[in-house]
Amino acid sequence: MNSAFKPYYAVIFTSIQTETTAGYAEMAQQMEDVAKEQKGFIGIDSARNEIGITVSYWESLDAIQQWKQHTDHLVAQQKGIKNWYAYYNVKICKVEREYSFKERF
């Protein structure tokens, strides 16, 4: 294990959308852009098929709480509940270790 590795947090957001998707992609991009400006933000991964999964990475639980209460994010959350989501679930996990593989080209 890399001795320089510092544990961090992952917010795993899974969702199923309603049939109403107008404005969703634009709001998702806006939220990603705003999140990237927040203190403690590390990165984001996202995929959507029948179920959407977005994982954002944060330095601390405090950074996650600050993001949850960000004014623009609160607006997006309410629009999501009202217009775009039939279901969602949020999990917050501590990442203790990571590793990856990349094929050589």
Global confidence as pTM = 0.88
Residue 2 scores a pLDDT above 70 = no
Residue 2 lies in a domain: no
| Dihedrals phi, psi of 13, to nearest 5 degrees | -110, 110
Residue 28 scores a pLDDT above 90 = yes
Query: What CATH number does residue 51 fall under?
Result: 3.30.70.100
Residue 100 lies in a domain: no
- Among 49, 50, 68, residue whose Cα is nearest residue 11: 68
Residue 103 lies in a domain: no
Which residue type does 56 have? S
Give the count of domains, the chain: 1
Which domain covers residue 49, as residue numbers? 8-95
Residue 1 lies in a domain: no
Residue 101 lies in a domain: no
What is d(CA 53, CA 98) in angstroms, rounded to the nearest whole number?
19
Tell me the per-residue pLDDT of 35-80, one tens digit each, with 9 for 90 and over: 999 999 999 999 999 999 999 999 999 999 999 999 999 999 999 9
Residue 102 lies in a domain: no
What is the Cα Rg of the chain in Å? Answer: 15
**Residues 44-81: b if buried by 16+ CB within 10 A, e if exposed:** eeeeeeeebebbbbbeeeebbebbeebeebeebeeebe
